[in-house]
Structure 1
């Protein structure tokens, strides 16, 4: 027999679970809107303010501002992704919404980057050939397609925190992480990062501002990948070490040699 207090506690717990799911869904929606804008921002297409548009600061200050913005995103993204941070963070943020909060904060910092970015429009290179221009534009969208596909190869909705918020409602059995290498992961260990690199560099007109963005983002991806690989080795042990030896990190079909990396 359940007492009135038991039923009230269970009802309140259920309301909290639904609130966590709503929070995660809203965080995901904010991410989608921000990320779609970011795609247009990098490609100079369909957005009011892009990487090369608008008026900004004089170039020395614009350069400093842009590097600080990317550094802010990199620090937030990497710090909040570390296990040591997550372990402390869960004392403040409940586990079902921990990932959604990470997604929300990351999206907010990305939106800040797009909004405060200072264009530096001096041209580094410009492709004149219509055929080459078309190929580069196609490559740009291919990069984003690779990013999207990579998110679904494991669990798109777990990556963005919705699955974690659903778990208390559905009460699924806990499953330990299983080491898998689906499709693209048989070609490179980090296809999502490869997609980002393609999208950041594939442009028929490279300005100084875009080049700063591409260079600093590439540096961050390389550092972030190294940190992520340390976590994956800790999680999967020898399985991941063998995977590192047999599959390239970012450059497709380039196998790792002993003591070196692509």
Structure 2
């Protein structure tokens, strides 16, 4: 009895790899523009529509729309990051552009949120003190700075999908899968998420709309962090469990961390 051999999968051509790199670079550029708009959107500075500007619907409808928009981002961001989803779409999306596609999808959902966001301009607080206002504004910008630094401490271009497409054009190198805790990661396990919390909550003027954004985003960050840590424990095992015991998740811990690695 003869059996038909399974067809060999042809490796992608150099032209296809270059096209993948171009796609990843364009996705990264679109992400950068979206991130800059997000900073202006949350900070009420420099963009046409912010979290508190523009006409809005009646507050019950506005509240519903805004919560649904944050939920849409949370679902997209979490589901597409799961291993089961990656295995499902891998036959359609090649590995070198998988991360870039994830980043692009996240950026598109953020743009939809900017477009459809409904401001609720009832004030929760307004800091009149110039010193207090300056402190909160400084914390806002420090939060974004912390996010940027944290991305480069791990691998900025890998995080946003450029490195994977570039690696497809170069000879394969051994992957360093060791567990590392560079600089900020010795102080807090998720400095990027800490930066987002600072940027979302630090404002001299907190409206109901801004509060809805900050609160729902915080809930998502807490849930997303738990899911991410579950994956990290699965990958690094006891090393990561020791790391959890000695380093705070979103806030610095006073306990000394003898088990972290460079």
Q: TM range, normalised to the smaller chain?
A: over 0.9
Cα distance per residue 1:212-249 (max 9 Å; x no partner):
00000000000000000000000000100000000000
Q: What is the match of residue 99 of structure 2?
A: 99
Q: Any residues of structure 2 matched to 1:105-254 within 5 Å, and which?
A: 105-254=105-254
* Aligned-partner SS, 1:81: coil
Segments of structure 2 that go 5 or more residues without pairing to the other structure are 1-9, 257-262
* TM-score normalised over the length of structure 1: 0.92
Once the two structures are TM-superposed, the CA of residue 113 in structure 1 deviates from its matched residue by: 0.7
More helix by share: 1
CA RMSD of aligned residues (A): 1.3
Cα distance per residue 1:30-72 (max 9 Å; x no partner):
0000000000000000001000000011100000000000000
Q: Distance in 2 between matches of 1:106 and 1:27?
A: 10
Q: Distance in 1 between matches of 2:89 and 2:190?
A: 26
* Aligned-partner SS, 1:93: coil
Q: What is the match of residue 19 of structure 1?
A: 19
- How many residue pairs get aligned? The number is 247
Q: Distance in 1 between matches of 2:134 and 2:68?
A: 33
* Aligned-partner SS, 1:170: coil
Mean Cα displacement is larger for which, 65-74 or 176-185? 176-185
* TM-score normalised over the length of structure 2: 0.92
Once the two structures are TM-superposed, the CA of residue 255 in structure 1 deviates from its matched residue by: 4.7
Once the two structures are TM-superposed, the CA of residue 254 in structure 1 deviates from its matched residue by: 4.7
Once the two structures are TM-superposed, the CA of residue 253 in structure 1 deviates from its matched residue by: 2.2
Once the two structures are TM-superposed, the CA of residue 88 in structure 1 deviates from its matched residue by: 1.2
* Aligned-partner SS, 2:18: helix
Segments of structure 1 that go 5 or more residues without pairing to the other structure are 1-8, 257-262
Q: Distance in 2 between matches of 1:214 and 1:255?
A: 29
Cα distance per residue 1:127-158 (max 9 Å; x no partner):
00001101110110000000000000011000
Could you list the runs of 4 or more consecutive aligned residues of structure 1 that deviate by over 4 angstroms after TM superposition? none
